[in-house]
Amino acid sequence: MTGPAPQPPRGGLPYALGAHLVWGLLPLYLMLVREVPAIEFVAWRVLFTLPFCLLFIVALRQGAHLRAALTDWRVLRLLVLSGLLIGANWAIYVAAIQAGHVFAASLGYYITPLLQVVAGTALLGERLSQRQWLAVLLSGVGVALLARGALDMLGISLAMALSWSSYSLVRRFVPVGSLPGLTVETMVLALPAAAAVLWFEGSPTGSSFGRDLPISALIAAAGAITAVPLLLFAIAARRMDFSLLGMVQFSSPTLVFVLGLTVFGEPLDPLKLTSFAIIWAAIALFVWDLIAARRRSANQPPA
């Protein structure tokens, strides 16, 4: 006699939405520090995120969990990989925003959910209903239309999508809490980040940090701005089906897309508008089917 089937993870949706809200508004912050070279900014971002994480490790008494992650080779090698992936993603994203490629950045995160849904079904054995597959197909059509209008920047978009999807998948398999995991990831990046900062310090223009108070304060704020949404996302990744996590991820590029239109002055042509409508129709269908399935499950009498 077999036991009851394991219930799908629950409770991650609010964490995922909180993370994507911060990420969706991130271009506003990045434009405030656009005079800081992208590599230098990412280096400072790492160096300010690490003490922020360590402070929380102490405050929440998770030192034992951090030591366990650092001494378990299986966990450590996965966190080294995820750290390198998130570092690459940060560098690509910051460089794209600072160069004015807001739409390419948005497109990258529109492609990402499709990759996550594919990974969830192909690698993790997650099953989608017919309506959910229809939603995935619709969103794929919408993303393809967006990509058609941005072929010159498609390389940036694909690099962002692949690095973030790979990071999400690796983190899914790391048996460590979100805070110790992020702390180890930033430790992995700290040495190359420190080397980059020293290189910029020795350059003719010098380091951006310390040049004036407003820019220095904005750079220092990168620690909290980086750590908080990543912690929320790591919690969500362990509490949600990977496919649902992928569909939720359409929210942050939509915010970036809207910012591109309203703040950064990117034009809205009929192709973009049509793509946007198709993607959100797909999200609505996916979420509606999830709600309907859970209602049916709740109404079933216990066996």
- What DSSP string runs through 246-272? HHHTTHHHHHHHHHHHHTS-----HHH
In a domain, 246, yes or no: yes
Q: What domain count does the chain have?
A: 1
- Give the model's pLDDT for residue 5: 40
In a domain, 138, yes or no: yes
Residue whose token pair is 């993870």:
9
Domain limits at 40?
Answer: 13-297
- Give the model's pLDDT for residue 4: 45
User: Considering only CA atoms, which of 112, 90, 97, 114 is closest in space to residue 153?
Assistant: 97
Between the alpha carbon of residue 156 and those of residues 37, 88, 107, 165, the distances in Å are 18, 12, 9, 14
Q: State the Cα–Cα distance between residues 167 and 190, nearest whole angstrom.
A: 18
- Give the model's pLDDT for residue 10: 65
Between the alpha carbon of residue 3 and those of residues 7, 8, 170, 173, the distances in Å are 12, 15, 29, 24
Q: Can you tell me the mean pLDDT for 112-117?
A: 77
| Banded model confidence at residue 2, pLDDT cuts 50, 70, 90 | very low
User: Considering only CA atoms, which of 115, 116, 96, 114 is closest in space to residue 106?
Assistant: 96
User: Considering only CA atoms, which of 92, 137, 94, 129 is closest in space to residue 113?
Assistant: 137
Q: Can you tell me the mean pLDDT for 130-153?
A: 80
In a domain, 86, yes or no: yes
Task: Give the residue with greater pLDDT, 237 vs 79.
Answer: 79
In a domain, 4, yes or no: no
Whether 234 contacts 242, CB under 8 Å: no
Both tokens of 63, joined, read 């030192």
In a domain, 94, yes or no: yes
Residue 78 has pLDDT above 90, yes or no: yes
User: Considering only CA atoms, which of 151, 131, 59, 101 is closest in space to residue 257?
Assistant: 101
Mean pLDDT computed over every residue of the chain: 83
pLDDT digits (tens, 9 = 90+) for 144-167: 887 776 666 778 888 998 998 899
Q: Can you tell me the mean pLDDT for 248-259?
A: 82
Q: Taking phi first (over 0 means left), then psi (-120 to 50 degrees means alpha), and beta for anything else, what does residue 10 get? A: beta
- Give the model's pLDDT for residue 66: 95
Residue 124 has pLDDT above 80, yes or no: no
Three-class DSSP category at 157: helix
Residue 302 has pLDDT above 60, yes or no: no
Whether 228 contacts 22, CB under 8 Å: yes
The model's pTM: 0.77
- Give the model's pLDDT for residue 178: 82
Q: What percent of the chain has pLDDT over 70?
A: 92
User: Considering only CA atoms, which of 165, 205, 27 is closest in space to residue 102?
Assistant: 27
DSSP character for 174? Answer: -
Lowest mean pLDDT across 11-25, 38-52, 101-115: 101-115
In a domain, 302, yes or no: no
- Give the model's pLDDT for residue 73: 93
Lowest mean pLDDT across 39-48, 59-68, 236-245: 236-245
- Give the model's pLDDT for residue 259: 85
| Banded model confidence at residue 298, pLDDT cuts 50, 70, 90 | low
Q: Which residues contact 46 (CB under 8 A, 6 or more apart)?
A: 87, 186, 189, 190, 193
- Give the model's pLDDT for residue 6: 44
